[in-house]
Amino acid sequence: MLKNEIIQILKEIPLFKALSEEHLLKISNEFNINKLKKGKTIFYQEDESTDLYIVLEGAVKACLIDPEGKELMLNILKKGDFFGELSLLDGKPRSATTITVADSVVGILKREKFLTLLNNNPIIAISLLSAIVDRIRMTDDMLSSMAFLDVSRRIIKFLLNTAQKESKMTENGLIKIKKITHKELASCTGASREAVTKALKILKFRGILIEKNEFLFISKDIEL
Ligand code: CMP
C-alpha cells in the first residue's frame, strides 16, 4: 500500500481527523503495514501485546472463544476502525481474540508511538473516548438482549440491525438479508447453535422469516 493511500485513509479516520497533514505523514511513517488473508488470527485473548491496530482494508472480528470453541462476537471492525486500545491503555493482556473476516490490511502502531502522539495531540483522546463509549453502549445493548430477549427475538433483532447497516429492502416492505450460517448466528446472538436451529425452525413455521435461495426475508415492521 502506498504512503499517500495510507494518508488518505488516515484522514478519514475519526481518531485522526483533527491532525494536520504533517502529523499524518509522521504517523504513516510509524505504521507497520500487515497484509492478512481471511480467517487469520491477529492475536488471541490473554496475549501479552499492546500495539494499536487500524483496519486499512477488509474487516476484523473481535470475539470471545470458550475452551470448546464456542464463539461470542463482540464487534466487527471495518475500514477506518481501530482495535487493541484496551491493552494499549491499561497494559493488561488482550481482552478478546481478533480474526480477519475478509482479506485485510492492518496498520500497526507501537504503544509508545501512540502515547507520544496522544501527548502531543490531546484532541485524539476525545475521539478515542468517544469510540470506547460507543463500544460500551453496544456491549450494554448486547447484554440487554441476552438477558431479556429469547433466542428468536435476538435473531430477529440481529437480522434487523444487520439489514439497517446494509440498508437492504425489497419492494413489498420485506428486508432481504444474505443467509448466514447457524454457527455465525449463534456467535452474534450469544446462543448455542442448537438453540438457533430450533428458533429458526419456529420463525419459519410461523412465517416470520422466509428462506429463499441464498437469502432470508423478514418484515421491516416486525415487533420484538
Ligand atoms: P484489546 O483488549 O487490546 O484487544 C482485544 C480488542 O477487542 C480490544 O482491545 C478492543 O479493541 C476489542 N474489544 C474488546 N471488547 C470489546 C467490546 N465489548 N466491544 C467492542 N470491541 C471490543
**Is it the case that residue 222 has pLDDT exceeding 80?**
no
79-101 pLDDT, tens digit per residue, is: 999 999 999 999 999 999 999 99
Q: Are residues 72 and 33 in the same domain?
A: yes
- For residue 62, report the distance from its CA to the centre of ligand 1, in Å: 6
Q: What is the CATH number of the domain that holds 128?
A: 2.60.120.10
For residue 171, the model assigns a pLDDT of: 64
**Is it the case that residue 176 has pLDDT exceeding 90?**
no
Q: What is the CATH number of the domain that holds 211?
A: 1.10.10.10
29-67 pLDDT, tens digit per residue, is: 888 999 999 999 999 999 999 999 999 999 999 999 999
Does the beta carbon of 64 lie inside 6 Å of ligand 1?
no
Nearest to residue 146, comparing CAs of 70, 77, 73?
Answer: 73
**Is pTM beyond 0.85 here?**
yes
Mean pLDDT, rounded, for 99-124: 93
Q: Are residues 118 and 156 in the same domain?
A: no
Contact 79, 58 (CB under 8 A): yes
Residue 160 lies in a domain: yes
- For residue 82, report the distance from its CA to the centre of ligand 1, in Å: 10
Residue 207 lies in a domain: yes
Q: Are residues 10 and 108 in the same domain?
A: yes
Residue 224 lies in a domain: no
Range of the structural domain that residue 175 is part of: 149-219
Residue 178 lies in a domain: yes
- For residue 162, report the distance from its CA to the centre of ligand 1, in Å: 20
**Beta-sheet pairing, 59-65 with 174-178:** unpaired
Q: Are residues 158 and 185 in the same domain?
A: yes
How does residue 13 score in pLDDT terms, banded at 50, 70 and 90?
A: confident
